[in-house]
Structure 1
Amino acid sequence: MLDIRIYYEDTDAGGVVYHANYLKYMERGRTEALRSLGFEQRQLKQDEDMVFALTRTDLHYKRPALLDDLLTVKSELLLAKGAKMVFKQRIYRGDMLLVDADITLACISTTGRPKRIPQAILARLEQE
């Protein structure tokens, strides 16, 4: 879980959070979810020559977030197999669901080639 406060810079001319910003919040949520399992993206890049590339997003915007809202990003890993990870991510304001998303990532090397997720990492992810 990750809490995010909405600032003026996050909003559009209509006074609501600009739609693309939700992807930023979800990126932060995934990063913190991995960090909570002991994986830092900088270290994965250095030690495993592994980074994640977004390959698919399916977002359902249910309600807008507004200036000064405190949002919570919840991230759940649904699948980690081969060179692919799938997350279910939801953004809430209190108990109210604002955005529901399915996010697919490819695991790639720093040269851009697909790279299988190392078995040690898969084992740790499967424990959670």
Structure 2
Amino acid sequence: MHRFDLRVYYEDTDLAGIVYYANYLKFIERARSEWVRDLGIDQAAMKAETGQVFAVRRVVADYLAPARFDERLTVVTRVLKVTPARIILGQDVTREGESLFASEVTLVALDGQGGATRLPAVLRQLPPD
């Protein structure tokens, strides 16, 4: 399990003063980038050396409760399932333990031509959380 803390800025909110729905996808993207970095994967080097990049194949999202300006949030990332070609993550945005947003994200790896390829070994070997 990986935790990523963030603060809600004014630019993250809508006219009603709550986090705009699409920004939750940005929050979980930032958390995934930090999770991958913490696993020791340098995505820029991976692309330069092998042409391989990660892509989101599928997202299922539930908006459970609103977040507001200046609140501190945590994105929790868990490995749900791993196959040689994809990894499924559970990513939840919480505020002091309260679940605000729950998602299931399927990631795949693409080669330099945009075709599917196997995930890097470090990801294929991850156990579910």
Relative to the length of structure 2, the TM-score reads: 0.89
Change (3 A) 1:118 1:6: closer
| Residues 77-121 of structure 1: per-residue CA shift (max 9 Å, x gap) | 222212211100010111111011100112111321101114355
What are the superposed Cα offsets for residues 10-63 of structure 1, whole Å, 9 maximum, x if unpaired?
001111100000001101111111111111221221233211111111111110
CA RMSD of aligned residues (A): 1.7
Unaligned runs of 5+ in 1: none
Corresponding position of 2:99: 97
Q: Taking every aligned residue pair, what percent have the same amino acid on both sides?
A: 37
* C-alpha separation in 1, matches of 2:34 and 2:83: 20
Hey, which of these two has a bigger chunk of helix by percent?
1
**For 1:26, which of 5, 25, 28 is the aligned residue?**
28
Q: State the one-letter code of the partner of 2:51.
A: D
The count of residues paired between Structure 1 and Structure 2 equals 127
**1:6–1:67 CA contact under 8 A, matched in 2:** yes
> 1:15-54 maps to which residues of 2 (within 5 A)?
15-54=17-56
Contact 1:76 1:87 in 2 (8 A): yes
Q: In structure 2, how many angstroms separate the alpha carbons of the residues matched to 1:6 and 1:53? A: 25
- Aligned partners of 1:102, 1:127: CA distance in 2, in Å? 13
